[in-house]
Copies of this chain bind each other. A is one copy, B any other.
Amino acid sequence: MSNKKDLKLRVKTVVGHMKGIEKMIDEDKYCIDIINQITAIQSSLRKISDQLLEDHLHSCVKSAIKRGDDEEVLGELMEVLKHRTQK
């Protein structure tokens, strides 16, 4: 997995933001402000997902196709792509 350090940092940042959400709920902060924070976290998660997907394309998908073993890896990829847009 390339850029592992960067990925882990992004994930830690999301964990920190999620703890912030917990605090906002605890302190009865305004719902709209909490919803906007969640929307920002979802955007960060999508970027982490994009980065993993890019990694996957350039490693596993590429080598599977080169081996002529593409049916399974492309089928799996389509399932992920369908679910990503329905989250």
Contact = CB atoms under 8 A, between A and B. Distances in A.
Interface residues of A, number: 57
Nearest to A28: B1
B46 A60 contact: no
Q: How many copies does the complex hold?
A: 4
A84 B43 CA distance: 10
19 contacts: A1-B25, A4-B26, A4-B28, A7-B25, A8-B25, A11-B25, A14-B18, A18-B18, A31-B60, A32-B76, A35-B49, A35-B52, A38-B49, A39-B49, A46-B87, A50-B82, A53-B81, A62-B70, A81-B84
Given A36-B83, A57-B78, 10 more contacts: A15-B22, A31-B55, A35-B52, A35-B84, A38-B52, A42-B45, A42-B87, A46-B85, A53-B81, A62-B74
